[in-house]
């Protein structure tokens, strides 16, 4: 029973990470992911976000300008580093000692990786969310355009 309670508590903590990172992507990119899953493995928090490219980014990718999308995302991630770290530190109650971020264009994925101060505890946990994608306050279709 104790393991189940610990797992449930960890799931709630990871849900806070997911719930904090998804709105940052939505607010600052203008489009958030359609799916997000956060994992905790020992002192590492990994959040995998699916379906988050904007229409402009998708257009550049489709035109063969993948590097332009990578460059702008890296610049953005550097500018947003403290806000992303603050979400994880607030949810986990531990300091983030390293933050790394990467995107992949096919399939459309982003990975936010945080290394926490060491705790010495061996842990494996996860939380999955399918945030409702929204455009201009309305539900979005699969391609990110406003739905009906």
> In this predicted model, what pLDDT tens digit does every residue of 26-77 receive, in sequence order?
999 889 999 999 999 999 999 999 999 999 999 999 999 999 999 999 999 9
Q: Residue 125 — very low, low, confident or very high, per pLDDT cuts 50/70/90?
A: confident
Give the least confident one: 14-18, 29-33, 140-144.
Answer: 140-144
Exposure string for 78-102, b = 16+ CB within 10 A, e = fewer: eebeeebbebbbebbeeebeebebe
pTM above 0.85, yes or no: no
**Strands in the chain per DSSP E:** 35-41, 44-50, 96-104, 109-116, 124-129, 134-135, 138-139
């Amino acid at each position: 029973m104790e393991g189940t309670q610990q797992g449930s508590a960890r799931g709630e903590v990871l849900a806070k990470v997911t719930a904090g990172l998804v709105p940052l992507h939505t607010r600052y990119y203008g489009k958030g992911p359609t799916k997000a899953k956060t994992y905790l493995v020992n002192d590492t928090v990994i959040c995998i976000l699916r379906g988050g490219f904007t229409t402009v980014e998708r257009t550049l990718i489709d035109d063969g300008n993948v590097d332009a999308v990578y460059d702008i995302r890296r610049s953005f991630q550097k500018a947003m580093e403290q806000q992303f770290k603050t979400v994880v530190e607030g949810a986990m109650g531990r300091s983030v000692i390293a933050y790394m971020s990467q995107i992949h264009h096919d399939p459309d994925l982003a990975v936010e990786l945080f290394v926490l101060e060491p705790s010495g505890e061996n842990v494996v946990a996860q939380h999955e969310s399918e945030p409702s994608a929204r455009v201009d306050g309305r539900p979005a279709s699969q391609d990110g355009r406003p739905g009906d």
